[in-house]
Structure formats: structure tokens, C-alpha cells
């Protein structure tokens, strides 16, 4: 598939997608353009329908903090996947060093910041066409023929398949239609960016069977140059296809069958040298001295925004993601019974450079993984004059099998050992750990939510969920050295043989209660309390070691998170519905917060899991959209988030307090960054920031449409801008002076023309002012003081042409 990267074949693939549409245009009817993408004399903001409460209703009638992005917004702003939502939704955070190690958070909560551990659940649920996707890697896949995306903020456990304690991203695809239609889109941009999308839909057998076929392809050269291999890395190379069949068996019964397959095969993901800082390791064992002793090594640039690296281990990130589902909807009595049956698979084939520089320290780091998941959901929903309700059952089963490999190179002794051992490369060269990791994850639940209309204006909405989770795992690390002799203590201190089989099971009861009241025709107020749980877990990345280099089995399992959530909101439409203003205020306390941590061992590359005693996240959010003129739409979304570890007295220490001799009563901890100093065994980070969360985040923009009759009915030109801002945030589990990421703003522009016959042509530029910014910073293992960076995209620009038939 890598041959598709050359220009001719990439364009050929784009043309192939277009052919999906070409055969249907002779019979397809010209579809009407969506109301919110054309100039209109009506100054009202169009009503948006969502299914956030598992039934269709206007978003302004839902007593919940929910945001909606329609297909046109998604496509025209370049929001190609869940990860790109951060530029439009201030409450969403996304960080990824590679697809497996991705974090999708809402209001700062969801997935522990850092390297992924298969033994726990994400706290933000990603649902595509009502199917729960267990892996955050889903966030890196291109949207495929999406109709809308709903972002639900706050606990959603009483209605959504898994107990989503932080929120949910609910993605709805365009469905098969009995009216023939087709869409095609082609994009060309700098960095040899090519994206093509196509879909066709229509009847197959009268008014009984309809089908839809969609495909997409995205390719872009990498934005970082690897001087060691002569390749550009961190590229895009994605392709996907989805087919759907709608069987309308009767007026009251229909089934939608879906199957999809997506593949990614980029050269990525790599980081760049960012800076160095002092730790408490001995001075001759910190980065500058180690680099000098390793042949006076220097990175290709000391300016990270030169976008140069010299990673000497192979970089691959192959993903194959697919599955099938059957969504059956049956009108029974006054309500509807829904069944969602699904199978998903995810195969992950990575290779990384985990020492982050062009030296043979860790020469192999790969954790290929295969996941299979099966889920079944049954729901019955009914709406009456006084009572609306949804009740359901949910079952989920998942297996994960990972075969990890880590091997040390000829300079590993120099960088990871001390004393005379540091000068003997044979000690660690060829030291190899082969890991056999497995997970069986079972979850079953019964849930329900009821809305009682006490009066036309006042409603009470209680919800309840009973959940059972069971996890069984294994972790077997077989460590060998180059001479096939018994391991020495120095070797065990770097790669420790381990074998354990953790288990966890638990039953919990979640609930929420919402009171909503219509203060006026277009003014809704609500208050909510939720008590929810995020399933406990098991450590599947290896256990920390004690002073004798033995695994600490007491931390095999991780307790469930326990959430108390309070929220109040106001949803309004004013001035004849030409202005929408929504406000929400929230306060979330979590006991036994699941955090990714490390220990003081020099070998730790993958973190393990632990519970922080308590964290708190609270804040306010604003959503404003207005149409002050018939042809002008503006929006402003904002979030202020106050976040902290309320109590975490035994947290891992930040880099500046790590790597030294163990402190004692006679030798208290040294000042941060003291070479050769004394390091505490743990640090009290109570009161410090959570990682990955900005206190202030904004998104804003406008679109102006100029009707032009010369372009046909409803044709016209338009100009649009969207921007975003995020203030400083910490990118280390324990806040460090070296890994705070400065705030930044991004600006995107687009301008184009819509034609009355369905054509839309526009040019775009993203990160228009070429802002240099870090997505996050991380540190090299072993307390060397090296800080590496994941870079945000540079300025990109291009031209997009699409047409609806």
C-alpha cells in the first residue's frame, strides 16, 4: 500500500473514489443544499436535532451540556477526526504520541495522561452509529460520511453502553436513502496533501432495501525530516470504506446493516529534541555529559521548530480497524425497541524509538496488539404526555493480545547504568524482553432514565445504572541477554523478568437526577447531580520494582474511580431565535482517580497505574452562536476549567526531583535540579494541576455569505474564519518546570463559492500565521534531563472541490 504515496498513484486513488459516484449521476436527483450552508433571508438559527438522550429531539430542549457539529462544519474546517475536535470544542482535549497512546478527555477527565495501559477503560466513550469503540485509537481515524457529531459533557452512564464518567462523543453517519443521491469531494494541498471522499446511496429493491457505499483516502507528507533515514515522518496515509444496507421490512420494523474497514500505514510517530533540564542524577549521568561521552553526540538541531530529528529505530504505525453491526428498530406499542449488535477488531503494528534520539540506547521498542470486541445492546424508549423513559440492557466482551519487544543497544550501559558498569557496553547490549500480555474484559449492565413532566414547564429526570465488570489478565516478561547466561542484578534493574495474572471484578450502581424548567418559550434551565463509577482495572504494562528489583504485586489492580458531579445550565434562544446562548457550570469530585505514574527505576519506559486519592475539576462553559445579519453567522465557545489534585501525597516526583540517591532522615531531599542530590521516594502534589488541561480555552469564528444570482439559485460566495486559543497546561503527570506547554492561538481561513447545481469550491489555510507550538512535552526515561516534543502542524493550505448530486 505504501506505493500509493507517489503522486500519480495517489491521484489515481482519488479518481477511483470519484468513480463510485460517476455511475450514479445519471439517475441521481439533485439534492437540496443544507440550509445552514447557504445564504438565506431568514435570520433565525436553524433548529438542530440530536439523539443525546437516545431519542430525536431539538438540542435546545435537552437538559444537558451537548454541542453539535454538522457535516458541513466538520468538512469545511478540516475536522477529519476526533482529535481535530479540540480546535472547535474548548472542553475537549486530545493528546497522542501514537494511536495506541492516545488520550481523549472532556473537561480534563477521561484517560490518564501518558502511555496507554490496556487494563483500564477510557472515561470518554466514543460511539459511532450507536456502537461503543473501546480504543482511543478510534480518535485518529478519518471521519467517513458523517452526518453529525455530538459532544456530551459530564457523566453519561445511565444511557450509554459503557459507564462514561467524563462524557461521550456520539457520531452519526449518513444513512442509506430511497432517494438516489451521491457526493464527491477532492482536496489538494501543500505537503502533497491529497484527500478524496465519495459516497453513493439509493434504492436496491423498491422501497424495501436501500444501500449506501462510502470511501475516503487521505495522504500527506510528513512534517518532520529524519536525517538518520532521509525520510519525512509523521505523515498521513489513511484509507477507509463503509457499506450500509437498510432493510425496511415494514412500516414499523427496519434493520440497518453496516460493515467498515479502515487502514493506516504512515511513517510515524516521532518526537524532536526540545530542551534539557537538570535532574538529581549525578552530573556525569545527565544528558549533556552522556551526549559528550557518546562521541560528542548532538541532535540535528537545537531548535525544535526546525522540524528535524535523527531517530535511528524504525518508525511504523500500521493500523487495521474494522467491524460489522446490525441496528434493528421496531415500533412496538407507543414506543420503540432498539437492538444494536456489533463486532469490532483493531490490529496495531508499531515500532518506536523510545530513547528519542539518534543513539543506539533502546534499539527495539514495539508492542503489536490485537483487539476483538463484541457488544449487544437492547433499549426500549417511549414518550407520553407525562412520562418519557428509556430502559435497556448492555453486554460487552473484549480480548486484547499484545506481544511486546524491547531490546537495549550498545550505548544502553552508558545511559542507564552507573559506576564501572556504565563503561561496560556488554552488560546491556542485546538485553531483550519479550512480553506476552493478554486481557479478557467483560461488562454487563442494566440502565434506565425517566422524564416526568410534572407540568408543561417542569420536568424531573432520574436515571439509574447497575454495572458489573470483570477483567482477567496476564503479563509475562521473558528477559534474556546476549550471552544466554543468568541475568545479573544490573540487567534485572533495567529489564526485569515478570509473570503475574491479575484479576478484578466489581459491581456498582450509578445514578443521576436532573430538574429542568422552561423559564420562557426559548429559555431552559436545569440542574443535575450524578454519581458515577469508572471501572477498576489491572496493570498490564509491567509492575514497578522494589529495592531488590522484584515486582510489587500489591499494585496489580487499580480501584474504580468514584465521581460526584454537580451541574447547572441555561439554554436560551433570543431575538426571534437569531441568537443562541448556552451556559453551564459544573463541579466534579473524583475519589481514587486513575493516574499513569512511573517509579524511580532507570529502565521505566512504560508507566503503570495507581490511584490518586482525590481530584477536582470545576468550571464554566459558554456557547454562543448568532446571526446578526441575514448573511452573517458568528460563534464563540469558551471554557474556564479549574483543576487540581486535591489529595495525592504519594505521587511520582517530577524530573527535577528524580534520579538522585534515595533521601533519608540523615539526608533530606535536595533542592529541585541538584545534580548528585537526594531524591524523595515520592512527592506530595496535592494542589497541583492535572495534566493536559488549560484553564482557559476558546474557539471562535464567523462566516459571511454573499448571494450571487449569476452562480445559480441559492449560489453565492463566502468567506469564513475560525480560531482557537488554549492557555498554558502541564504535560507531565506530576507537574514539572520542564514540561509546561505555553498557551497558543491558531487561526484558519477559507473562501469559496457555492453554485446552484451543487458544486462547492473553496480555498483554505490552517494555522494561517504559522504558529510554532507544542502539542505536548515528555521526558526521556532514566532522569537524564532530556525533554522531547510532539509538534503541532505547521501552516497548511489547499483547495477543495465537492459536489452533491
Calpha distance 149→180 (Å, rounded):
24
Cα torsion 82, 87, 89, 92: sign: positive
CB 310 within 8 A of CB 300: yes
pLDDT of residue 43: 55
If you average pLDDT over every residue of the chain, what do you get?
89
Q: How confident is the model at residue 374 (pLDDT cuts 50, 70, 90)?
A: very high
Asked if pLDDT for residue 14 goes beyond 80, the answer is no
Calpha distance 298→359 (Å, rounded):
10
Distances from the Cα of 46 to the Cα of 34, 128, 780, angstroms = 10, 24, 51
Any bridge partners for residue 640, and if so which? 620, 696
Q: Give the count of beta carbons closer than 10 Å to the beta carbon of residue 31.
A: 15
CB 155 within 8 A of CB 166: yes
Listed residue (488, 391, 388, 406) closest to 159, CA to CA: 391
Any bridge partners for residue 309, and if so which? 226
The pTM assigned to this predicted structure is 0.89
615-658 pLDDT per residue, tens: 999 999 999 999 999 899 999 999 999 999 999 998 889 999 99
Asked if pLDDT for residue 600 goes beyond 70, the answer is no
Q: How confident is the model at residue 554 (pLDDT cuts 50, 70, 90)?
A: confident
Average pLDDT, integer, range 703-721 = 92
Write out the three cell numbers for 473: 489478565
Exposed/middle/buried for residue 386 (C-beta within 10 Å: 0-12, 13-18, 19+): exposed
pLDDT of residue 47: 59
Q: What SS3 state is found at 17?
A: helix
* Rg of the chain (C-alpha set): 27
Listed residue (793, 800, 796, 794) closest to 763, CA to CA: 800
Q: What SS3 state is found at 86?
A: helix
Average pLDDT, integer, range 146-152 = 91
Write out the three cell numbers for 619: 468550571
Average pLDDT, integer, range 137-163 = 84
DSSP string across 44-81: SPPP-EE-TTSS-EEGGGSSS-EEEEEHHHHHHTT--S
378-388 pLDDT per residue, tens: 999 999 889 99
Reading phi first (left if > 0) and then psi (alpha if -120 to 50, else beta), residue 306 is in alpha
CB 795 within 8 A of CB 767: yes
219-232 pLDDT per residue, tens: 999 999 999 999 99
Arch. (CATH architecture) of 2-804: Beta Barrel (2.40)
Calpha distance 133→304 (Å, rounded):
35
The percent of residues in the chain predicted with pLDDT above 90, rounded, is 70
The HSE-up count of residue 166 (CA atoms within 13 Å, CB side) is 28
The secondary structure of residue 738, as a DSSP letter, is: T
Cα torsion 50, 51, 53, 58: sign: positive
pLDDT of residue 799: 97
Amino acid at each position: 500500500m505504501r506505493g500509493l504515496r507517489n503522486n500519480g498513484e495517489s491521484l489515481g486513488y482519488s479518481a477511483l473514489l470519484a468513480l463510485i459516484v460517476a455511475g450514479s449521476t445519471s439517475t441521481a436527483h439533485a439534492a437540496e443544499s443544507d440550509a445552514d450552508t447557504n445564504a438565506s433571508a431568514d435570520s433565525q438559527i436553524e433548529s438542530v436535532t440530536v439523539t443525546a438522550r437516545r431519542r430525536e429531539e431539538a438540542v435546545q430542549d435537552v437538559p444537558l451540556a451537548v454541542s453539535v457539529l454538522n457535516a458541513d462544519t466538520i468538512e469545511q474546517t478540516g475536522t477529519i477526526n476526533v482529535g481535530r475536535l479540540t480546535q472547535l470544542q474548548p472542553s475537549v482535549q486530545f493528546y497522542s504520541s501514537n494511536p495506541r497512546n492516545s488520550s481523549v478527555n472532556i473537561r480534563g477527565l477521561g484517560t490518564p495522561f501518558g502511555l496507554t495501559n490496556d487494563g483500564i477503560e477510557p472515561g470518554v466513550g466514543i460511539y459511532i452509529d450507536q456502537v461503543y469503540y473501546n480504543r482511543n485509537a478510534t480518535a485518529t481515524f478519518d471521519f467517513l460520511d458523517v452526518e453529525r457529531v455530538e459532544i456530551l459533557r459530564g457523566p453519561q452512564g445511565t444511557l450509554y453502553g459503557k459507564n462514561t464518567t467524563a462524557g461521550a462523543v456520539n457520531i452519526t453517519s449518513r444513512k442509506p436513502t430511497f432517494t438516489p443521491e451521491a457526493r464527491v469531494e477532492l482536496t489538494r494541498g501543500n505537503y502533497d496533501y491529497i484527500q478524496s471522499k465519495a459516497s453513493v446511496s439509493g434504492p436496491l429493491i423498491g422501497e424495501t432495501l436501500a444501500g449506501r457505499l462510502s470511501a475516503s483516502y487521505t495522504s500527506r507528507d510528513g512534517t518532520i525530516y529524519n536525517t538518520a533515514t532521509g525520510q519525512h515522518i509523521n505523515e498521513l496515509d489513511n484509507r477507509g470504506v463503509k457499506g450500509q444496507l437498510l432493510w425496511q421490512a415494514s412500516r414499523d420494523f427496519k434493520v440497518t446493516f453496516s460493515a467498515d474497514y479502515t487502514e493506516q500505514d504512515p511513517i510515524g510517530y516521532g518526537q524532536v529534541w526540545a530542551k534539557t533540564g537538570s535532574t538529581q542524577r549525578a552530573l556525569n549521568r545527565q544528558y549533556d555529559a552522556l551526549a559528550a561521552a557518546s562521541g560528542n553526540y548532538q541532535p540535528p538541531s537545537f531548535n525544535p521548530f526546525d522540524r528535524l530529528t535523527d531517530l535511528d529505530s524504525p518508525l511504523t504505525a500500521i493500523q487495521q480497524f474494522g467491524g460489522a453491526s446490525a441496528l434493528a428498530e421496531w415500533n412496538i406499542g407507543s414506543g420503540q425497541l432498539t437492538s444494536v449488535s456489533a463486532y469490532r477488531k483493531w490490529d496495531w503494528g508499531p515500532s518506536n524509538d523510545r530513547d528519542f534520539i539518534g543513539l543506539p540506547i533502546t534499539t527495539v521498542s514495539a508492542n503489536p496488539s490485537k483487539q476483538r470486541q463484541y457488544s449487544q445492546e437492547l433499549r426500549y424508549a417511549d414518550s407520553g404526555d407525562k412520562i418519557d423513559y428509556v430502559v435497556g440492557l448492555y453486554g460487552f466482551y473484549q480480548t486484547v493480545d499484545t506481544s511486546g519487544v524491547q531490546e537495549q543497544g550498545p550505548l544502553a550501559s552508558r545511559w542507564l547504568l552507573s559506576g564501572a558498569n556504565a563503561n561496560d557496553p556488554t552488560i546491556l547490549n542485546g538485553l531483550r524482553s519479550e512480553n506476552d500480555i493478554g486481557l479478557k474484559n467483560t461488562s454487563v449492565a442494566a440502565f434506565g432514565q425517566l422524564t416526568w413532566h410534572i407540568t408543561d414547564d417542569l420536568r424531573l429526570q432520574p436515571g439509574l445504572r447497575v454495572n458489573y465488570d470483570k477483567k482477567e489478565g496476564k503479563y509475562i516478561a521473558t528477559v534474556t541477554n546476549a550471552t544466554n547466561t543468568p541475568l545479573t542484578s544490573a540487567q534485572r534493574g533495567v529489564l526485569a523478568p515478570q509473570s503475574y495474572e491479575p484479576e478484578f471484578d466489581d459491581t456498582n450502581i450509578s445514578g443521576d437526577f436532573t430538574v429542568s424548567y422552561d423559564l420562557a418559550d426559548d429559555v431552559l434551565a436545569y440542574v443535575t447531580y450524578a454519581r458515577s463509577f469508572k471501572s477498576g482495572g489491572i496493570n498490564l504494562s509491567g509492575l514497578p520494582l522494589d529495592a531488590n528489583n522484584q515486582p510489587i504485586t500489591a499494585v496489580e489492580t487499580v480501584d474504580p474511580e468514584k465521581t460526584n458531579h454537580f451541574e447547572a445550565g441555561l439554554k436560551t434562544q433570543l431575538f426571534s431565535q437569531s441568537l443562541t446562548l448556552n451556559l453551564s457550570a459544573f463541579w466534579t469530585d473524583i475519589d481514587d482517580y486513575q493516574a499513569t505514574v512511573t517509579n524511580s527505576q532507570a529502565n521505566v519506559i512504560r508507566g503503570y497505574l495507581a490511584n490518586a486519592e482525590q481530584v477536582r475539576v470545576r468550571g464554566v462553559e459558554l456557547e454562543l452562536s448568532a446571526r446578526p445579519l441575514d448573511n452573517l453567522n458568528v460563534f464563540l465557545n469558551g471554557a474556564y476549567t479549574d483543576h487540581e489534585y486535591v489529595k495525592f501525597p504519594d505521587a511520582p516526583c517530577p524530573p527535577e526531583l528524580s534520579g538522585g540517591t534515595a533521601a533519608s532522615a540523615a539526608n533530606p531531599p535536595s533542592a529541585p535540579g541538584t545534580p548528585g542530590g537526594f531524591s524523595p521516594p515520592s512527592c506530595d502534589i496535592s494542589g497541583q494541576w492535572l495534566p493536559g488541561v488549560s484553564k482557559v480555552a476558546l474557539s471562535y469564528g464567523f462566516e459571511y455569505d454573499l448571494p450571487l444570482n449569476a452562480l445559480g439559485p441559492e449560489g453565492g460566495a463566502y468567506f469564513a474564519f475560525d480560531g482557537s486559543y488554549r492557555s498554558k497546561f502541564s504535560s507531565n503527570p506530576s507537574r514539572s518546570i520542564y514540561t509546561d506547554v505555553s498557551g497558543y492561538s491558531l487561526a484558519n481561513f477559507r473562501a469559496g463559492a457555492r453554485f446552484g447545481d451543487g458544486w462547492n469550491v473553496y480555498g483554505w489555510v490552517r494555522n494561517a500565521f504559522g504558529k510554532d507550538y507544542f502539542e505536548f512535552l515528555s521526558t526521556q526515561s532514566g532522569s537524564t534531563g532530556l525533554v522531547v516534543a510532539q509538534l503541532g502542524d505547521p501552516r497548511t493550505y489547499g483547495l477543495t472541490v465537492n459536489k452533491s448530486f
